[in-house]
A and B are shown apart, each in its own frame.
Chain A
Amino acid sequence: MNAATDWNEIDDGAFREIVRAFFAANYPAELRYPMRRLHWPEIRDWYATLSAKGWAAPAWPVRWGGMGLKPDKLLIFMEEQESFGVARTPDMGITLVGPLLIQEGTEAQRAQYLPKIIAGEYLWCQGYSEPNAGSDLASLRMSAVIDGDAYVVNGQKTWTTLAQDATHIFLLVRTDQAAPKQEGISFLLVDMKTPGITVRPIRDIAGHDEFCEVFFDNVRTPRANLVGKPNAGWGIAKSLLGFERIFLGSPKQSQFALGQLERLAVANGLFADPAFADRYARLTLDVEDLSSLYRKFADDVRAGRKLGPDVSILKIFATETYSRISGLTLEAAGSAGPVRSTAEFGAGPEDALNTYLNARPATIYGGSSEIQRGIVAKNVLGL
């Protein structure tokens, strides 16, 4: 198929086959089902393959080098990616910066950045959270002050995923100190090579350095790098929360972990214990019902309906189910539970610890379970 293919015209089943076949033929077998985010040197070849195929940006419009997939097709693409165990690339440029510039950017910004994102020359990281602005993101304090034709940026970002690999960062910064907290925030793009930026990787409890602290000390970035209007950043950031949120509630992670738990239980003869069998059955049903709930929201997306705040329940239940499975997995492993494994791909029964530790951040990132419950209580239940 050439770049001019209108994927949306293809029948769903056929499209799924095409995508699956491409992954099967081209994705490196040794990188399937990673237990952590991969760094750029590990995944760049795969990114190059995707880019050459014209598949680097499935959701972008064709005129900007994307596949132009509508939500139903994009859902299939992402589902196949997940089922085959294809690793996430450092994809902030694809999932957030691209849509941001297409929606809010200037022609010059689009021309400057979009082709280089597709080509994999520019890798982006997301500068949102700060030490004192986590769940309460709108209280962020990083300042950007106009000085001639530049903004001068000072402050600190944290939990910045894969900042050490990034060439650029997109920031939420405070440009009006006097305004109410959500109204003084702007969107700013910064080249990571700019003097005054220091990146310090943070080692997590699973032993990986996926996220970083990023310090800004009088960092000058051109005023042309402001996206949208000044002080409109909060609204823009919110509008970027598209239907992709549904993937924070994907059942795949739990399905995968349940399979691991089952192999472990068979190996250790645990099904003979009725108490274990009941807990296992309960988790099995949680995963199946999670899949049903996912399908309900996916059907909404396919029908062209906008996702409402109720999609938060999917994230809550998906990540908490994963967390419960990981807990029983650790228990089921018995004395082998605390043993460190060297495996980084495709968890086997021996990797209980990996699963347990990897499940921890799921209920925290992308809006913690508590934040999600607050959203549902207020916006769905009217409390």
Chain B
Amino acid sequence: MSNSASDEDLGLIRASARDFARDEIARMRARAFHDGDGRIDRAQWKLLAELGWIGLMVPESRGGAGLELPALAAIVEELGPAVLPEPLVCAAAFAAGIARRGDGPAAGALLESIAAGEVFAAVAWQEGPSDFPGAPMATRASSGDAATIDGRKCFVAHAVSADGFLTAARAAEGVEIHWVNRSAKGVDIRIDRTADGGSVGELRFSHTPVSGATRVASAATGAAALASAFDDAACATSAELLGLTRRMLATTLDYLRTRRQFGQLIGSFQALQHRAVDLYVQQELSAACLRDVLPGWSANDPAQRARQASRVKARCSEAALTVGREAVQMHGAIGFTHECDVGLLLKRVVVSSARHGTAAAHRARIAAARIAETGERR
């Protein structure tokens, strides 16, 4: 069972995340990760698990905290400015979200080991750069004694660090999700690095053996589990983007209030003032839509959550990208240096704004749903 955290509880959760992010070491770790090999630090991962953050939405009976999305959103918003190397949303909302909703034999044990920080699970679901759950899926799962998965997945987040993959594949009756070890037979992994130092993988499965024992979700629950976990993840990522937006804008305003040129503070120039206000408007819109959407999140039906996820992800992604671009511009040449934090923040924004759907892709999903509705009405 999951519980709604009270406002007071949320405040405490938020405060502990803020303390964690404030640590100077946090920023140094982000830089080290940016320049590293893309692998997450497993000791740190274990620490996040011990804080209860990875299993935040995992039922208490499976070793989690049994909380709902608003609690995770509060944490990742506060962690945003720290540019946390560890992909908390990918694990806590997406991977654990699928395992939590799956009806397969492998779901329970996997969920426990994810929550405990013992297993780092990546989700292999996407097959094209703008896919949403529900898009046509070419990867197949056969049935019977010698069942296999065959196909290709791409943009698998943090694949280089993953112990295995929650792999979505189309079976006769619908989408199944299997747990596939990274060392399983017939799995070929090619790694690309992302702007923030992380990684994405392209996975090829050829006759990779699966069975009832690897099944996390049957065809009865697979598509819905994937879709719901995706929407949770998109919403939580929006909160992370808001945290990044706040920091980028605050840093930029500090600069406008201290940098002098032509004998005056550059923040006294109207051209910059008005642009700064527009960035502030975007920040406040991001905050306002999350504030409206989060409290009732769990009470909504899946279609409403999809709509809300698209709404907040579209706003927060675009706002963060806009603020990030302007933050670099207003800092001038300093903003283009590796040393300035603005670039580090912007690169995380580039990654997170694309993860779990870009703004344009979410708008397209909204438009498609609306068009379907108006079509029905006619």
Query: Which of B273, B289, B291, B360 contacts A383, CB < 8 Å?
Result: B273
Q: Which of A53-61, A91-99, A278-286 contacts B (4 or more CB under 8 A)?
A: A278-286
Smallest CB–CB gap between A96 and chain B, Å?
Answer: 27
Q: Report the Cα distance A277→B361, complex, angstroms.
A: 12
Q: Report the Cα distance A383→B364, complex, angstroms.
A: 37
State whether A373 touches B315 (Cβ < 8 A). Answer: no
Query: Which of A292, A316, A382 contacts B291, CB < 8 Å?
Result: A292
- Which residues of chain B come closer than 8 Å to A284, judged between CB atoms? 366, 370
State whether B284 touches A383 (Cβ < 8 A). Answer: no
Q: Mark B350-366 against chain A: 1 for CB-CB distance below 8 A, else 0.
A: 00000000001001101
How many A residues have CB within 8 A of the partner chain? 33
Which residues of A (321-353) have their CB < 8 Å from a CB of B? Answer: none
Interface of A, helix, strand, loop or mixed by DSSP: helix
With A292-B288, A377-B274: A280-B367 Cβ-Cβ less than 8 Å: yes
- Which residues of chain A come closer than 8 Å to B289, judged between CB atoms? 288-289, 292
- Which residues of chain A come closer than 8 Å to B273, judged between CB atoms? 373-374, 377-378, 381, 383
With A317-B285, A381-B276: A277-B253 Cβ-Cβ less than 8 Å: no
Question: Is B138 in contact with chain A by the CB < 8 A criterion?
Answer: no
State whether A271 touches B257 (Cβ < 8 A). Answer: no
Query: Which of A285, A310, A378 contacts B314, CB < 8 Å?
Result: A285
How many B residues have CB within 8 A of the partner chain? 35
State whether A278 touches B363 (Cβ < 8 A). Answer: yes
- Which residues of chain A come closer than 8 Å to B297, judged between CB atoms? none
Smallest CB–CB gap between A280 and chain B, Å?
Answer: 6
Query: Which of B265, B267, B281 contacts A316, CB < 8 Å?
Result: B281
With A292-B288, A295-B288: A313-B267 Cβ-Cβ less than 8 Å: no
Question: Is A296 in contact with chain B by the CB < 8 A criterion?
Answer: yes
Residue in B267, B277, B285 whose Cβ sees the most chain A Cβ within 10 Å: B277
- Which residues of chain A come closer than 8 Å to B268, judged between CB atoms? 383
- Which residues of chain A come closer than 8 Å to B253, judged between CB atoms? 381-383
- Which residues of chain A come closer than 8 Å to B265, judged between CB atoms? 383
- Which residues of chain B come closer than 8 Å to A293, judged between CB atoms? 284-285, 288
- Which residues of chain A come closer than 8 Å to B247, judged between CB atoms? none
Q: Report the Cα distance A331→B127, complex, angstroms.
A: 37
Query: Which of B257, B267, B364 contacts A274, CB < 8 Å?
Result: B364
State whether B366 touches A266 (Cβ < 8 A). Answer: no
State whether B274 touches A313 (Cβ < 8 A). Answer: no
Q: Mark B328-370 against chain A: 1 for CB-CB distance below 8 A, else 0.
A: 0000000000000000000000000000000010011011101
Smallest CB–CB gap between A51 and chain B, Å?
Answer: 37
Which residues of A (227-258) have their CB < 8 Å from a CB of B? Answer: none
Question: Is B261 in contact with chain A by the CB < 8 A criterion?
Answer: no
Q: Mark A203-241 against chain B: 1 for CB-CB distance below 8 A, else 0.
A: 000000000000000000000000000000000000000
Query: Which of B281, B292, B378 contacts A313, CB < 8 Å?
Result: B281
With A262-B374, A293-B288, A296-B291: A281-B280 Cβ-Cβ less than 8 Å: no
Smallest CB–CB gap between A143 and chain B, Å?
Answer: 32
Question: Is B183 in contact with chain A by the CB < 8 A criterion?
Answer: no
Smallest CB–CB gap between B75 and chain A, Å?
Answer: 22
20 A-B pairs whose Cβ atoms sit less than 8 Å apart in the complex: A262-B374, A277-B368, A278-B364, A281-B364, A282-B363, A284-B366, A288-B289, A288-B311, A292-B292, A295-B288, A295-B292, A296-B284, A296-B287, A313-B281, A316-B281, A370-B274, A376-B277, A377-B273, A377-B276, A383-B256
